[in-house]
A and B are shown apart, each in its own frame.
Chain A
């Protein structure tokens, strides 16, 4: 084996420039992989964690009624197109009638950590002359705490105020900004679709970091919203917090089967986002894959060129008693060493990019709002980056190495090599 390394080192040192280019190619591939994976996954993980913590793992509700067009299609055939104009909107029947029994029942479930009732409604919130539409959520603060981590997002930790003062609300940070509210204690007027109007005091702000939530959401005591919407003791949603967030789909199906209600896991509720993330990941990995393939071609090219140039040397090595496997090793290890050095340097590059991104102090305003980039600095990305680079390098160098081992020395000696 030392004979092999004796030769490899000299081969590598002979083609310094090409070796350096190949090493750089691999390094950029690995560095890009580490940086992009941590950036993409950092954003996605943050979004999912916030969304899961904020909303619920499983939501139980009454299934939306089938649209009349769909009903007609079912009857006359899917190929027909129906348009219904001027139909009077009906009140949505979304009451979860046996909510108290369901809450009691699922509070004891081994897979479930917390259960909480919600009453959701649309409304208009007015501050001075400014009006905004809002998504009103009536909650039981004590139960809500068990079924979500709502406290984490409440700026001044005054969730209990919803219990002590029935006419207090917590509003999204961005909604408050839109209305021009910068401090708590301000009075706002909320109007529900049935025409009821009520004066509320803003006791706290709610800041999840997810733009569309912070722009619309208003929390209030469920009893107050029930009174305002004329739905006493009504609930149109029960939310569940479960022990293992990844089993939400299974538990959701079980609850639906047991209760007959429609249930939605967080994966289903966020399916559009998850789909986008999936596409985003594909794009990321395709780019990184392309970089690694290009660097693999670089290695392939170098080894192939070396083999072509080294035909005489391969012939004499064989005459001196070097076996086919030795020749394969000389060239394959050559590629492998390029891969290993490239992946080590690439990991360092990836780490430096991570450090740089972590130090960038910018306001990110989009689906989510953060200061600086969100990074998932999982060591596994380094491991995968190194693994991919080494595997690519090995395969890139294997074919030329194999070709080298199959060179017949006699052909070289006869031709005067």
Chain B
């Protein structure tokens, strides 16, 4: 197992509240890890720190053995763009853009030409079962399809790890199943996935489960 993401003694304090307490963990390459726990246990906070969207109050984060400098916002943005993929509970698709254009966004930022980005975007649209809907706006497709577009967008720059924060929290059971199947399929293709969920049934489908309580990992 090759370690991809390593957290050592990571704590997060907001005001007088200790949100994360001395967390040390390793996410290995190609694994599917789910983080579960009750509301306020710190699971999303942990995901945001791993996803370099937030900085820890103390501790160290390493990605592929590179120590992350949280003061270097440009490098953080570059890592998020080129190596990370994000999926949230809400799809956060830009309503003015078509599905294709939404998927193109991270690729254009990464320096791909519009033509290249469009080509990859179309491939992803086909892969996620959205063929023929490339030119639709987000509000013209169903909730499940919107979330699949969000997954396609997360996959656009072929990231080394995908972070999903309650990706099925807003979906019905049928779409939850489709999205989960998609994640499992991606993981089988070798993609590393870290998913925050409060649904134990979903977590059970993943190889690793981290249980969080009160800012600490209580069981693995």
Interface residues of A (CB under 8 A from B): 2-3, 6, 10-11, 13-14, 312-313, 315-324, 326, 409-410, 413-414, 416-417
Contacts and interface: CB of A to CB of B under 8 A. Distances in A.
B81 A321 contact: yes
Given A312-B92, A321-B110, A410 B80 contact: no
A316 B44 contact: no
Interface residues of B, number: 32
Interface string B20-51: 00000000000000000000000010001001
B135 interface: no
Given A2-B114, A320-B106, A417 B80 contact: no
B99 to A, nearest CB: 14
A326 B81 CA distance: 13
Given A2-B114, A3-B108, A417 B96 contact: no
Nearest to A325: B74
A413 B87 CA distance: 11
A410 B77 contact: no
A321 B96 contact: no
B177 interface: no
28 contacts: A3-B108, A6-B108, A6-B114, A10-B94, A10-B97, A10-B101, A14-B96, A312-B92, A315-B92, A316-B88, A316-B92, A316-B94, A318-B77, A319-B51, A319-B80, A320-B105, A320-B109, A320-B153, A321-B79, A321-B109, A321-B110, A322-B109, A323-B74, A324-B73, A410-B53, A410-B54, A413-B165, A414-B44
Contacts of A321: 77-82, 84, 106, 109-110
B86 interface: yes
Given A6-B101, A315-B92, 16 more contacts: A3-B105, A6-B114, A11-B96, A316-B88, A316-B92, A318-B80, A319-B86, A320-B105, A320-B109, A321-B77, A321-B82, A321-B106, A321-B110, A410-B54, A413-B53, A416-B89
B128 interface: no
Contact of A409 (B44, B53, B114): B53
B90 interface: yes
Which 5 A/B pairs are nearest by Cβ-Cβ distance?
A: A321-B81, A3-B108, A316-B92, A321-B80, A323-B77
The listed residue with most B CB atoms (<10 A of its CB), out of A313, A321, A417, is: A321
B96 to A, nearest CB: 4
A239 to B, nearest CB: 71
B48 A410 contact: yes
A313 B101 CA distance: 13
Nearest to A9: B96
B78 to A, nearest CB: 7
A95 to B, nearest CB: 83
Contacts of B90: 312, 416-417
B96 A13 contact: yes
Nearest to B102: A316
Nearest to B81: A321
The listed residue with most A CB atoms (<10 A of its CB), out of B53, B74, B82, B153, is: B53
Nearest to A13: B96
A312 B89 CA distance: 13
Contacts of B81: 320-322
B149 to A, nearest CB: 12
A414 B114 CA distance: 32
A14 B95 CA distance: 10
Contacts of A316: 86, 88, 92, 94
Contacts of B84: 321
Contacts of B54: 410
A323 B80 CA distance: 10
Contacts of B77: 318, 321-323
A417 B97 contact: no
A317 B105 contact: yes
A11 B94 CA distance: 10
A321 B76 CA distance: 8
The listed residue with most B CB atoms (<10 A of its CB), out of A10, A312, A320, is: A320
A381 B204 CA distance: 72
A414 B108 CA distance: 27
A315 B114 CA distance: 23
Contacts of A313: 92, 94
Contacts of B51: 319
A14 to B, nearest CB: 5
B92 A3 contact: no
A409 B163 CA distance: 15
Contacts of B94: 10, 313, 316
Interface string B96-128: 110001001110111000100000000000000
Nearest to A12: B96
A141 B44 CA distance: 97
A3 B73 CA distance: 19
Contacts of A317: 105
B38 to A, nearest CB: 16
B73 A323 contact: yes
The listed residue with most B CB atoms (<10 A of its CB), out of A315, A324, A409, is: A409
A6 B114 CA distance: 9
A285 B53 CA distance: 48
B146 to A, nearest CB: 13
Contact of A3 (B86, B88, B96, B109): B109
The listed residue with most A CB atoms (<10 A of its CB), out of B74, B90, B165, is: B90
A181 B14 CA distance: 96
